[in-house]
Amino acid sequence: MHGDGWLFGAGPPGRWDDQKVSCPVVLREGGGFRMWYYGHDRTFPGLGPETTGVPMGRSGTAISADGLVWQRQDGPGVRGAVLDPSDDPAAFDAWQVGITDAHRVGDEYWIGYMGAPQSSIELLGMVRKGYPLRAGLAKGDGLRLTKIRGDAGGGATLANGAPGAWDAWYVSCPRMVPIAGGWRLYYHGRGPSVHGAVGLAEGPDGIHWEKRGQVFGPNPKPGHFDSLGILSRHVVPVEGGWAMFYEAMSDAPVAPYTYSRIGLAFSPDGLRWERLPGPGAGGCILDVGPPGAWDALAIGTPWAVDLGNGRWRLYYVGYDARSVAAIGVAEADGRDLTRWTKLPTART
């Protein structure tokens, strides 16, 4: 028994995801659901504090009839993955890849992902491999994906800012939103001046982008759950505008880590955002579990799904006290998206 919210853990030995799973990306299609997610196996090279710290390596997929009981599907990549690092050592994604977005466009899927290169930088007093993180795009049938080469450096579709810029280190967790005449891309930016903020770019085709700058940053009020940095987020249409479910960290550390939790903001236009405080610690809408729970250390990478019957579902990643990761799920009444209930675990 894993505890409320637990949904999906690491894969069987020898599979690409037998060590870590993270960042659920879930689409409803027909009478069922499909999920993409990233992670890595126990033998994935070089994972540790000298790398990005993002628990990615490869990416894969699973299917479900109800969005709760999932069956892994093997892709053509290494150990059943659907997306692997590039064979080109100069590529922006030669070290690690992680799927963070999916859209059905015509008869194919457009898959957004982030990639880490083989290069290293000095960051916070340590030489770290896999920087800078950049955004990419792949297309295909969900199992077989072809990377679409961009012109932002090493095949990326969106490049980092100049040295010293707020997004010089990270252009990560890219997620697109269709708008009239094209797309918006929301992403996590990080650099010397900011731990994490939400950036926006716009473009016509999912490949070529023009940055619009920061649109949502840390809470200026100390002590709130989101006062240190904004990380991953999912922007979805709701009545009257847009909702942003976002992962954030607090400036109030909890030894030995700073916890991440999930919050909510609303915008009438997708540009100007207002926080909607929830009932959890520091104003979050979904909190970590109690001591000893599978998600007691941190939760993040939210992905919201409108179930179409007045209910919403929120998929997320959770970490226990040993940093063991699993994917979780909660539900809410669409009339109040600040209050969520983690579903009882009745799955294997």
> What does the DSSP assignment read for 46-93?
T-STTS-----BEEEEEEESSSSS-EEE--SSGGG-SB---S-TTSTT
The more confidently predicted of residues 346 and 248 is 248
CA atoms within 13 A on the CB side of 166: 20
| Rg of the chain taking only CA atoms, in angstroms | 18
Residue 348 domain flag: no
* Residue 120 banded pLDDT, cuts 50, 70, 90: confident
What pLDDT score was predicted for residue 256?
52
* Residue 253 banded pLDDT, cuts 50, 70, 90: low
- The average pLDDT across 231-242 equals 97
Q: Is the pLDDT of residue 52 over 80?
A: no
Indicate which CATH number applies to the domain containing 302: 2.115.10.20
The more confidently predicted of residues 320 and 1 is 320
**Other C-beta atoms within 10 Å of 76: how many?**
11
For the record, the structure tokens of 31 come out as 């009478």
Compute CA 261 distance to the chain's CA centroid, rounded to the nearest angstrom. Answer: 13
- The average pLDDT across 39-56 equals 80
Lowest mean pLDDT among 103-107, 185-189, 254-258: 254-258
* Residue 123 banded pLDDT, cuts 50, 70, 90: confident
Average pLDDT over the chain, rounded to an integer: 93
Closest CA to 217 of 167, 183, 253: 167
What pLDDT score was predicted for residue 346?
57
The more confidently predicted of residues 143 and 44 is 143
Domain coverage including residue 113: 6-342
What pLDDT score was predicted for residue 257?
59
Residue 25, class by beta-carbon neighbours within 10 Å (0-12 exposed, 13-18 middle, 19+ buried)? buried
What pLDDT score was predicted for residue 327?
98
Angle at 70 between CA 67 and CA 75, to 5 degrees: 120
The more confidently predicted of residues 280 and 128 is 280
Compute CA 287 distance to the chain's CA centroid, rounded to the nearest angstrom. Answer: 17
Pairing of strands 134-140, 108-116: antiparallel
- The average pLDDT across 74-88 equals 97
- The average pLDDT across 184-196 equals 95
Residue 29 domain flag: yes
Q: Is the pLDDT of residue 319 over 70?
A: yes
Amino acid at 158: L
Residue 123 domain flag: yes
What pLDDT score was predicted for residue 57?
95
What pLDDT score was predicted for residue 182?
97
Compute CA 306 distance to the chain's CA centroid, rounded to the nearest angstrom. Answer: 18
Residue 347 domain flag: no
What pLDDT score was predicted for residue 323?
87
What pLDDT score was predicted for residue 117?
95
Q: Is the pLDDT of residue 306 over 70?
A: yes
Residue 1 domain flag: no
Q: What is the total count of domains within the chain?
A: 1
What pLDDT score was predicted for residue 128?
85
Residue 52 domain flag: yes
**Quick check: 324 and 340 in contact, CB under 8 A?**
no
- pTM here is 0.96
Residue 40 domain flag: yes
Phi and psi for 261 in degrees, rounded to 5?
-135, 180
Provide the total of helices (H) and of strands (E) in the chain, helices listed first: 0, 23
Q: Is the pLDDT of residue 46 over 70?
A: no
Residue 277 domain flag: yes
